[in-house]
Structure 1
Amino acid sequence: MSAVPLPVSPPAPLLRPHLPAWLIVTMACIASFMVVMDGSIVNVALPAIERDLQLSHAALQWVIDAYLLALGGCMLLAARAGDLYGRRPVLQAGLALFTLASLAAGLAASAPWLLAARAVQGVGAAVLATSSMALVMAATHHDKAARARALSLWAALNSAGFAFGVVIGGVLTDAAGWRWVMFVNVPVGLALMAGVAASLLPPAPRSTRPPLDLPGALVSTLASVALVYGITQSTELGWASPTVLGALAAAAVLWPLFVAIEARSASPLVRLSIFALPNLRVGNGLMLCLGATLTASVFLVSALLQHGAGYSARDTGLAMLPMGVALAAARLVFAGRLARNGAARLPLWGALVAAAGLAWLAAMPAEAHFLTQVLGPTLLVGGGLGLVILAATHAVTSGVPLQDAGLASGLANTARQLGGALGVAALATLAGAVAQGAGGAPQAAQLAGYHAALLAAAGLSLVCGLVSLALRQPD
């Protein structure tokens, strides 16, 4: 496949005159942080939600899955909408959806109400996830070093949001009740809406605008939803379930159909020639592996501390705080090296460090002491994966034309989202199977399951390192 060059015109001004680029970078980072945080903040509040709304176990799982399905399914469509209709109106629409849905979720009086609000939250989150990365790229397009620093900050807060979500969720649930894990988004969303309106210019009028690829949008959304649904339901129903197999089979048919539609479309949702950029291909593969490793690691460590070591929800969140700090710090510390092209093996070393931390956690006893058996390995996992994500983010954005910023963001976020869903489903299934076959006391069997899953997560981290070896250093 050969790349088809597109005509490049000077980018239209994004910020109002005399406003610094760091202003939009800051707002984009906060928006991205909210999206990732909302994927984990609800986890520790689930028992309280179950008691208050008297939810069944199946309905409780859908509090998480409704958000993930909408987020994963709408990612490519949201990315393309930003490219076609302008960053400001699309970002404002996403913020409005996310903020209002968060308010509705916090006021929910029944399961259908809560699940519907969570699904709308996911749609808004898809817009925020793709628009935030594209905004960072657009605001710093004039300066390669500035773009590298800004993307490092964006990536740092993006990943740290998942770990910090557990912390914030535990504290809010214990102190104010589960509804505040939803309400916390409202003031932040309103502030961002005001900031976007005050700082971003409206899109310039266009005499002609390429039409939205509606067949591609429909098929890609259905394919993403089918794949995420099949993966997430595997933890509850098992991989051999007809429901799971049917959803995965549908995804296996729809994705090739989507590619065929895009190859023939005059204005495709995903311009296939963009995959001619070698680092974009490898970078998205790295994002897929990384999403599986990071999301599964946070899930497993949280579950191990609560169910294996007997930590409370609040103590679990606080115990995972150093991991989130290490994720952010590693990217910020090493961003300069990456910008100077002096870090060819940085993601490999990061993957090895993270694998060592995960293997260390796989030896955690039932009575785990934080300072000697939790702090060290979680710092290794956070710091190591922080380096890998830094390299992956750089890879999926390097050499991408400004007019394809939204597309590159959508592809990267989709890969990471699908990887995360697959990683959690596969390793949760492994943990359950090992625990079931271990026998003996229930707590010991459960601990054995988590240990096996963490060793598998260490293996996934090594896969990330191997994939990173295929990244090319820019000339």
Structure 2
Amino acid sequence: MSSLSLSPAPALLRRGTPSWVATLVACLCAFMVVMDGAIVNIALPAMRQDLALSSVQLQWVVDVYLLLLGGFMLLAARAGDLYGRRAVLLWGLALFSAASLAAGLANSAPMLLAARAVQGFAAAALATSPLAVIMAGHPQGAGRERAIGLWAACAAMGSAFGVVAGGVLTSLWGWRWVMFVNVPAGVLLMAIVWVFLNPRSADSRGQALDVPGAVSLTLALGALIFALAQATHDGWSEPSVQLALVVAGVALPVFIMVQRRAREPLVRLEVLRLRNVPIGMLMIGGLGAVLTCSTYFLSQALQRIVGFDAWDTSLAMLPLALTLAVAAMLSRRLREAGFKRLPLVGGLTSAAGLAWLHGLPAQPSMLVDLLLPTSLVGIGCGLTLMSATQAVLSGIPQKDSGLAAGLQNTARQLGGAIGLASLVALAHGVGLRSAGGAVLSQAAELAGYQAAFLATALISTASALLSLLLGHEEG
């Protein structure tokens, strides 16, 4: 064997690169992924009006991003292991920036949804590489812990910034700018990655990406979400709905078969036998549904029923985003101080706020009907966001912790996609019943949103109670 083959792989950061560059790359990537999910919610009504989107298409603007992000997250993480974080980040950023430009230029629903799908696919690379970049730039110790804390804080702050930016951009220049804003940020980050990160010539011979696993899982969940969304309007007997259910029913067993037979599967199925993994996936999937549905339905209710414009809506939703960010940053300190059962407390707190929003009137009081309940939702989700993952991983063997963490993150995104599809169907059904089967009036539409808030409260409660089943002492 030649001496060249024995030489170690180059360090991820170029020689002389300060460690703060690794933190900067990680924070900006996390910020972009989270912000893009939040910024779109404010602009949805403007998109609907400009492109004549149906309610199903409007839901897919959010869902297709979450579906592709969650479905390909584990694959992107594996690609980073095999081909290097620099290459995966550069490709991800290039795709994300191009898709953002295409979404901003979209003149039809299919073009917008296709661009959002590519955004979600690319965002998987941005969501999975930052932690590895931090670990490469910081040795074990307090420096790494501070960097990880800052990375998590930036992810939490991305939601608050997205809410404000969505309102400002939509109000001043239109909804297209919530997409265009990603382009200069993506190009800047590409330049930083290109200059400061080393390329990696990893030897991936004999190793493979489990593309069939990622595709079959995403196809199964996408078909299920399509069936849920389409059945809202066309009924369960519609051929397209039944075909989608058949596709979902076939693709899921195919995914399981592929995982059993693959030499290097996306998911080692034996990990699912660890008690905390399936419970944690359900719990964090529920959290994903709560975060996605609360912001989606609140934005819709405020703009379509209350009559707020994009700017007023962003101000009304800002307390939720800010309390979420603050509570997420405080949750680590609370856990270290000995506070137990944070996922339980957080889930029940969110449920209380959502149950309060169940009574949202057409002419709400800013303090009583919006500020207080949305702050409860934000505090509850913030307390749960990081403490839930920490609680799950504390009961997992070290050798499985990486995969378990990836599964939790995947479950969060996919939980948001499935939860939104289900609750949009519920809201539409309740609205139709309230209207007596006629065209939805504002009162009937509000009744649908109120039902969705109550259902989201039940999901939050179930997620909180699931945390009691985690197999470790802190839950």
- Into which bin does the TM-score normalised by the smaller protein fall? 0.7 to 0.9
Match of 1:392 among 376, 388, 394: 388
For residues 207 and 49 of structure 2, the distance between their equivalents in structure 1, rounded to whole angstroms, comes to 50
Which residue is 1:442 aligned to? 441
Match of 1:429 among 425, 429, 432: 425
For residues 197 and 209 of structure 1, the distance between their equivalents in structure 2, rounded to whole angstroms, comes to 28
Give the Å deviation of 1:124: 0.9
Is this contact kept in 2: 1:400–1:408, CA < 8 A? no
Unaligned 5+ segments in structure 2 are: 1-7
For residues 225 and 141 of structure 1, the distance between their equivalents in structure 2, rounded to whole angstroms, comes to 40
Match status 1:89 vs 2:87? yes
Give the Å deviation of 1:461: 1.0
Which residue is 2:77 aligned to? 79
Match status 1:225 vs 2:215? no
Secondary structure, aligned partner of 2:469 = coil
Match status 1:357 vs 2:347? no
Which residue is 1:5 aligned to? none
Residues 282-330 of structure 1, C-alpha deviation per residue, up to 9 Å, x if partnerless?
Answer: 3222211111111111112222222332222221111111111111111
For residues 116 and 156 of structure 1, the distance between their equivalents in structure 2, rounded to whole angstroms, comes to 31
When structure 1 is superposed on structure 2, of 456-465 and 157-166 the one drifting more is 157-166
Name the CA shift for 1:352/1:108 in 2 (closer, same or farther; >3 Å).
closer
Give the Å deviation of 1:68: 4.1
For residues 244 and 11 of structure 1, the distance between their equivalents in structure 2, rounded to whole angstroms, comes to 50
For residues 317 and 241 of structure 1, the distance between their equivalents in structure 2, rounded to whole angstroms, comes to 38
Name the CA shift for 1:35/1:154 in 2 (closer, same or farther; >3 Å).
same
Which residue is 1:467 aligned to? 466
Residues 354-387 of structure 1, C-alpha deviation per residue, up to 9 Å, x if partnerless?
Answer: 1111122222222112123211111111011111
Which residue is 2:284 aligned to? 287
1:206-285 alignment, distance < 5 Å? 206=203, 208=205, 210-238=207-235, 241-275=238-272, 277-285=274-282
Match status 1:203 vs 2:200? yes
Which residue is 2:341 aligned to? 345
For residues 234 and 34 of structure 2, the distance between their equivalents in structure 1, rounded to whole angstroms, comes to 26
For residues 373 and 241 of structure 1, the distance between their equivalents in structure 2, rounded to whole angstroms, comes to 39
Match status 1:42 vs 2:40? yes
For residues 136 and 268 of structure 2, the distance between their equivalents in structure 1, rounded to whole angstroms, comes to 19
Give the Å deviation of 1:71: 2.9
Give the Å deviation of 1:97: 0.6
Match status 1:30 vs 2:28? yes
Give the Å deviation of 1:241: 4.3
Which residue is 2:123 aligned to? 125
Name the CA shift for 1:402/1:184 in 2 (closer, same or farther; >3 Å).
farther
Unaligned 5+ segments in structure 1 are: 1-9
Is this contact kept in 1: 2:84–2:202, CA < 8 A? no
Whichever residue aligns with residue 121 of structure 2, its letter is: V
Name the CA shift for 1:265/1:50 in 2 (closer, same or farther; >3 Å).
closer
TM-score (norm 2): 0.85
Which residue is 1:4 aligned to? none
Is this contact kept in 1: 2:135–2:144, CA < 8 A? yes
Is this contact kept in 2: 1:232–1:421, CA < 8 A? no
Name the CA shift for 1:364/1:187 in 2 (closer, same or farther; >3 Å).
same
Whichever residue aligns with residue 453 of structure 2, its letter is: L
When structure 1 is superposed on structure 2, of 379-388 and 105-114 the one drifting more is 105-114
Secondary structure, aligned partner of 1:320 = helix
Residues 61-91 of structure 1, C-alpha deviation per residue, up to 9 Å, x if partnerless?
Answer: 5544543443344333223212222212111
Name the CA shift for 1:373/1:409 in 2 (closer, same or farther; >3 Å).
same
Which residue is 1:6 aligned to? none
